[in-house]
Amino acid sequence: MTPSACIKKWKASNLEERSAAHEHFIDLCRLLDEAVAQAYAWKSDISDDEMLTKLQAVNLERAKQYAKLCRA
């Protein structure tokens, strides 16, 4: 889902806030997942488990680099 598609979908929605909250949250999560995948040049259909594994690896590597800088 693109940001413009999400905006179009929810502007046209006549659901009340309570009944639409879960679906709206899921759509926002999808948008965020796609943005993260694009930012790291990962395939767009990456699974949640694969994304979390890759993000953990990135964070661990950055933590190592930061620790080296702090010791210098």
User: Total domain count for the chain?
Assistant: 1
The reported pLDDT for the residue numbered 13 is 87
Q: Give the pLDDT confidence of 11-70 residue by residue, as tens digits.
A: 888 888 788 899 999 999 989 998 999 999 999 888 989 999 999 999 999 999 999 999
What is the span of the domain harbouring residue 66? 3-71
DSSP result, 6-67: HHHHHHS----HHHHHHHHHHHHHHHHHHHHHHHTT--TT--HHHHHHHHHHHHHHHHHHHH
Token pair for 50: 């694969």
